[in-house]
Copies of this chain bind each other. A is one copy, B any other.
């Protein structure tokens, strides 16, 4: 499996209007509430998670990849001294990988701040 963008948090002014827009114009599936977000399914690998925000300075991109690729990337993160964490609310606790359940199956996750 190539590494794919699994989901990204899209900062918007109005979640309901955004869902209505993307489902009606592009025909994306309405997934309703997914965790704290309203989400649409762009295709089999990618969701857009809408969050209402006036502060768009922090973007969130979640990649899904094979287990070995994850292990290799996580090792490079640790070797680089980059801060990471095991949950969306703990991105710098240096714990992990965390467990995650996604539509592709159970796996592991690591969260980090890009440069």
Which residues from chain A sit less than 8 Å from chain B, CB to CB? 2-5, 8, 10-14, 17-18, 20-22, 24-28, 42-44, 46, 56-57, 59, 61, 63, 65, 69, 73, 76-77, 80, 82, 114-115
Contacts and interface: CB of A to CB of B under 8 A. Distances in A.
Q: How many copies does the complex hold?
A: 2
B25 A73 contact: yes
A61 B61 CA distance: 13
B59 A25 contact: no
Contacts of A28: 3
A14 B115 contact: yes
B114 A12 contact: yes
A69 B43 CA distance: 14
